[in-house]
Chain A
Amino acid sequence: MPATVKGGVELRKALRNFAPELGKETQKEITGVLKPVVKEARGFVTGSPLSNWAREGGKFPVFNASIVKRGIGYKTTPSKPNRRGFRALAQIRNRSAAGAIYETAGRRAPSTKPSARPNFAQSMGPLTGTGKERGRLIYKAWENDQGNATKAVLKAIDNAGKTFNRMVGNR
């Protein structure tokens, strides 16, 4: 569960409409925080974790390191609401199919249905993180970051809000 903030989406709208420069600065600040995490996550993609996975053919998505790297990125604009009505103000994403498989394989216990293949998951190495937030790429980089990025993003949003309020107050 990410930290929730009140009025974040409204603040982004207000910044866009009334203080676009400040909005851009905030976005830059958030980008500056997320970029190193993304870079580190991309660094974990070295090649196909399984030799057969890189071969073409079949329905299973082929592991192509460059596609997987390209699929790892960040987003600094508010997302659409999820099923529970929450909108994320910033995200780190792993969007390629092979990247998602490599990220999450082995999260479920081997005994659960649909039957998992422990050999497949084990050969990729251990998962890093806790609970549902375990992975090998973005979650690993996120875990290594130890929450610094979250703090920095929240601080950036908070600072933007304060600056904006000050600016509006001065008008």
Chain B
Amino acid sequence: MANVVIDIAAEYTGNKAFKQAETASQKLEKSVGRVAKQLLAVFSATKLISFGKNAAKAFAADEKAARSLALALANTGNAFAAIEVEKFIGDLQRATGVLDDNLRPAFRTLLTATGNVKKSQDGLALALDIAAGTGRDLGAVSLALAKAYGGQTTALSRLGAGLSKATLASGDLDLITAELTAKFSGQALAAAEGYAGSMAKLAVASENAKEIIGKDLLDAMQLIAGEDGIGGATTAMEGFATEVGNAIYGVGVLIDKLKSIPGAGFIGDFLKAGIRFSGLGALSALGADRKATNAGTPAQSPGQRMAIDKAAKDAIKLQKQQNELKKIDNANTTRKLVLTADQQALEELKKKFDVERIGLFAALNNATDEETQMRLKSLIAIKDNDTALAGKIKAEDEAAEAARRFTNALLGQAAMIADMEAARSAIGLKSLTQNASNNASKAADVSMNIGNYSMGDIADVEAARSRIGAASMVNVVVQGSVTTERDLVNAITQGIYNNQASGIPINYSTAY
């Protein structure tokens, strides 16, 4: 499928095509070899190799010092300050023109003595001033200061810094450093100015350049060396140098011979120029090409990419191992499932020949009442260890119980209504079943005897209803009031009149 794409931001994550990468690096090796042959025809192989070795050595020494300092920081519990310290040393190097190769060991000495990054930074600045002011070696000054931090001021007295005996004898480091600061403050910066200072700064820049080239050279060697590592690269380099040396000698012989031919001297000159231009041109082209490639990858060096590839390989290996383990686990699970199924089949078979179970089923078939059937089912469930059936039986049992309670509650309600009817008829009122809505506006003022029926019965009804899942709602509504005080008085008065009319005397017993 056609797919023209513009990639906007990319990240190197490593790929599966390690083989291709290897081929590409081999191709690069060949092309580098070709170009280097042309280049070395112009320049002396020995000089170049010597420079390369020096640069690599400088970088290695620098890296070793940086690692040592980082370790010292970690050991003193200041690992977090590693970046800050590196920056401080870099800044100090640029400002004072003192190489980081000297600054790092001095800082490390002070850090070991003080264990404090801030104190060490101040101490290093002071040591630089003292070293510039006394002309002593920075290492010696920093060691003397470090000893002073430890309580030994003898080395400090021998620096020729002009410290008074009283100050040294006091052992008060604050006092000592204050006196030293007063005497040597600004010496390092002053030394960095002027011609000598500029030369020192140039030397620093040159050393840094050497270290940078050394780093790239080692990276390139690692790239070229491939799986054989740096050892392979050095062997190849030496063999390569011999070959190039021979080639140079051959070119020299050729030019010499051409010069010896009358009228052909210009050919030798032309050849020399041609070689120079072709060599430099090729070098320039290669450098530009590589720079362009690297310009696009500012954050990832070849070393980092190799590390990514290695990590990717390791991850794949780990994944494979995990997959193998998962396979074993899955096989075990499958086997377990098969065994469980077999076991179940065996259990089913067993059940068919269980005499007690057969008897229970026979009894169940013959049972007529529900309670017996439920009991037999429960026994079968217990026998079969059938939790599902037991649950079902339990639910059925609960539903039956709820229905029973519901019936009882309804009966109770009916009895209560009957009692209420009796009470109403006793006081000469209309039946509850009759519509008493006309009296609804009258205030209720009659206490009714509701006998043994309480709100608990209604709660029972509700509970029973919810257990059996009854959808309908039973509401008992007592509408309106039954009488008023005046009606009651009238009724009693009327009763008395009736009694009098009937000839029944009014006395205590008739009144009550």
Q: Give the B-binding residues of A (Cβ under 8 A).
A: 1-9, 34, 61, 78-79, 81-97, 99-101, 103-104, 133, 135, 138-139, 142, 149-150, 153-154, 157
Apart from A34-B8, A86-B10, list 10 A-B contacts with CB within 8 A. A1-B293, A82-B15, A87-B10, A88-B5, A89-B10, A94-B5, A97-B2, A101-B2, A138-B4, A139-B6
Q: Which residue of A lies closest to B20 (CB)?
A: A83
In the complex, the answer to whether B8 meets A153 with C-beta atoms within 8 Å is yes
Q: How many pairs of A and B residues are in contact by the CB < 8 Å rule?
A: 125
In the complex, the answer to whether A4 meets B8 with C-beta atoms within 8 Å is no
User: Which among A4, A95, A97 is the interface contact of B9 at CB below 8 angstroms?
Assistant: A4
Contacts of B300 in A (CB 8 A): 4, 6
| Interface check B13, CB cutoff 8 A | yes
In the complex, the answer to whether A95 meets B2 with C-beta atoms within 8 Å is yes
In the complex, the answer to whether A84 meets B15 with C-beta atoms within 8 Å is yes
Complex CA–CA separation, A83 to B20 (angstroms): 8
Majority-rule SS of B interface residues: mixed
In the complex, the answer to whether B10 meets A6 with C-beta atoms within 8 Å is no
On chain B, the number of residues with a Cβ less than 8 Å from chain A's Cβ atoms is 29
**Selected A-B contacts with CB under 8 Å, 8 pairs:** A4-B299, A61-B2, A83-B15, A84-B21, A90-B8, A103-B4, A133-B6, A139-B4
> What's the least CB distance linking B222 to chain A, in Å?
17
In the complex, the answer to whether A86 meets B7 with C-beta atoms within 8 Å is yes
- CB contact under 8 A between A142 and B298, given known A5-B11, A85-B13, A86-B12: no
> What's the least CB distance linking A59 to chain B, in Å?
14
Chain A proximity mask over B295-316: 1 for CB below 8 Å, otherwise 0: 0111110000100110000000
Complex CA–CA separation, A78 to B20 (angstroms): 22
Majority-rule SS of A interface residues: mixed
In the complex, the answer to whether A92 meets B6 with C-beta atoms within 8 Å is yes
In the complex, the answer to whether A91 meets B8 with C-beta atoms within 8 Å is yes
Complex CA–CA separation, A89 to B147 (angstroms): 55
- CB contact under 8 A between A85 and B12, given known A4-B299, A6-B300, A95-B1: yes
In the complex, the answer to whether A86 meets B8 with C-beta atoms within 8 Å is no
- CB contact under 8 A between A88 and B9, given known A4-B299, A4-B300, A5-B299: yes
> What's the least CB distance linking B474 to chain A, in Å?
55
- CB contact under 8 A between A93 and B17, given known A3-B10, A7-B11, A88-B9: no
| Interface check B14, CB cutoff 8 A | yes
In the complex, the answer to whether A100 meets B298 with C-beta atoms within 8 Å is no
Complex CA–CA separation, A138 to B297 (angstroms): 24
Contacts of B17 in A (CB 8 A): 83-85
> What's the least CB distance linking A131 to chain B, in Å?
11
Q: Which residue of A lies closest to B299 (CB)?
A: A6
In the complex, the answer to whether B4 meets A99 with C-beta atoms within 8 Å is yes
> What's the least CB distance linking B304 to chain A, in Å?
8
Chain A proximity mask over B490-504: 1 for CB below 8 Å, otherwise 0: 000000000000000
Most buried by B among A4, A92, A94: A4
Contacts of A97 in B (CB 8 A): 1-2
Contacts of B5 in A (CB 8 A): 79, 88, 91-94
Complex CA–CA separation, A76 to B299 (angstroms): 21
Complex CA–CA separation, A100 to B5 (angstroms): 9
Complex CA–CA separation, A94 to B1 (angstroms): 11
In the complex, the answer to whether A5 meets B4 with C-beta atoms within 8 Å is no
Contacts of B15 in A (CB 8 A): 81-85
Contacts of A92 in B (CB 8 A): 5-6, 8
Contacts of A34 in B (CB 8 A): 8
